[in-house]
Structure 1
Amino acid sequence: MSLTIEKTAIWVRACEVEELEPCWGEVALLGRRQVALFRLADQEVYAVDHHDPHTGAPVMARGIVGSRGDRPSIASPLHKEVYDLGTGECFTDAALTLRTYRTRIVGGMIEVELEQ
């Protein structure tokens, strides 16, 4: 017999939308996680792990925001690997993946979905 442990998700408030400059990353400490937040438009916010998947360094909020076609991206400031902000897929090295988090805006506040 095997036990399946279900993980539950909670929404955690990070900051007000207006506190983020468009196309610039900021770090939020949510519980014990460092999450990099990126506001691309008034109602378009992405959240990813702040730690670079290649080196483990906490630098992703200082990455370069851009796009690959119509897919918003972030390039690591260290070795310039480029990741899809929505899926975490690495465009430049298929072996790497950046953890992403769902976001929503409620009453002008950015909330990030975290697993407990």
Structure 2
Amino acid sequence: MKTPEPLWLPVCGIADILPGTGVCALLGAKHIAVFRVGDNQLFALDNIDPRSGASVLSRGLTGNLGDHLVVASPLYKNHFDLRTGECLESPEHSVRTYPVQVHDGLVSVSLS
């Protein structure tokens, strides 16, 4: 059985995300945070902070914590691995990650 191709949902232009920052997108009923690290690395994860229930992770600070590329929640300062969504302080508060791509300057995310 053939795996279906992912459905890519447009978020914004790559120039709309400054390096080292994130943006929030509402895709269907999902709040998604998309981060740009450096010029070419993009990551997408749930934007809802699992401890507070607020849609704020896109406003967090990105950086490194040991070998992990992370975003720190602006509310409780938990660190989420941008590659895996793992919450480094409390793994039970981990978030989901999503595939992200850039095509012709447009950033898109797949929820599948």
- What TM-score do the two structures reach when normalised by structure 1? 0.85
Structure 1 runs (4+) deviating above 3 angstroms are 6-9
Q: Over aligned residue pairs, what C-alpha RMSD do you find?
A: 1.8
Q: How far is the alpha carbon of 1:114 from its aligned partner?
A: 1.0
Provide the residue aligned with 2:14 in structure 1.
Answer: 17
Cα 1:55–1:8 shift into 2, 3 Å: farther
Q: How far is the alpha carbon of 1:94 from its aligned partner?
A: 2.2
Residue 23 (structure 2) pairs with residue 40 (structure 1): no
5+ unaligned residues in a row in structure 1: which ranges? Answer: 1-5
Aligned equivalent of 1:57, options 32, 54, 59: 54
Equivalenced residue count is 110
Provide the residue aligned with 1:82 in structure 2.
Answer: 79
> 1:67-114 deviations in whole A, cap 9, x for unaligned?
123431011111111110110011111221111111111111111011
- What TM-score do the two structures reach when normalised by structure 2? 0.88
Larger Rg: 1
In structure 1, distance between residues paired with 2:28 and 2:4: 16
Q: How far is the alpha carbon of 1:9 from its aligned partner?
A: 3.9
